């Protein structure tokens, strides 16, 4: 697969191991079979649109997650130190993952390029419990995402999961 290519629903999510704001390692494979993973890619800590998003998402985290079997992570190329200060200043209730090498952003098709800021794109990826992409969307860099859109992304995956189990099929 070419570097930085968009992912498609149903394909395996690329494995990652990144540090969060507390310098603890977080691996995608640790959630396989246990939780859906919602990845909120954003360009950079402390920027106006990103701050608006995180300050909006925090109080609405329950609505975004839907059921309790989902975990939400913010992902950018900023350092764990920047993430720590950002999370504390704005009371962000979910972990922020640091991708300073840009390897994860490129694997997920979410790297915006070196110019002008060498940062991640704004986008949402939902990985189902089986480790497959169930939702993938890039959003304009200057446009904040809406809680309703994130809730729908997780709900669509939940609806498909329920439909498959309703008919006795396992995906």
Instruction: Please give the Cα distance from 105 to 130 (Å, whole number).
Output: 21
DSSP-derived 3-state class of residue 91? coil
82: which residues sit within 8 A by CB, 6+ positions away? 45, 46, 98
50 as an active site residue: the answer is: yes
- Given 50, 55, 77, 119, the catalytic residue: 50
Instruction: Please give the Cα distance from 145 to 131 (Å, whole number).
Output: 24
Q: Which residues pair with 76 in a beta bridge?
A: 98
119: which residues sit within 8 A by CB, 6+ positions away? 43, 44, 76, 77, 112
Q: Which residues are catalytic?
A: 50
């Amino acid at each position: 697969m070419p570097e930085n290519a968009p992912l498609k629903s149903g394909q395996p999510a690329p494995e990652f191991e990144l540090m969060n704001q507390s310098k603890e390692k977080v691996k995608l494979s640790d959630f396989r079979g246990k939780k859906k993973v919602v990845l909120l890619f954003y360009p950079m800590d402390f920027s106006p649109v990103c701050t608006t998003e995180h300050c909006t998402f925090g109080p609405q985290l329950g609505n975004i997650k839907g059921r309790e079997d989902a975990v939400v992570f913010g992902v950018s190329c900023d350092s764990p130190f920047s993430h720590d200060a950002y999370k504390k200043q704005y009371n962000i209730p979910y972990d922020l993952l640091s991708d300073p090498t840009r390897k994860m952003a490129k694997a997920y098709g979410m790297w915006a390029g070196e110019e002008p800021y060498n940062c991640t794109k704004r986008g949402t990826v939902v990985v189902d419990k089986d480790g497959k992409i169930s939702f993938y969307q890039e959003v304009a860099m200057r446009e904040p995402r809406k809680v309703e859109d994130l809730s729908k992304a997780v709900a669509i995956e939940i609806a498909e999961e329920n439909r498959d189990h309703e008919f006795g099929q396992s995906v």
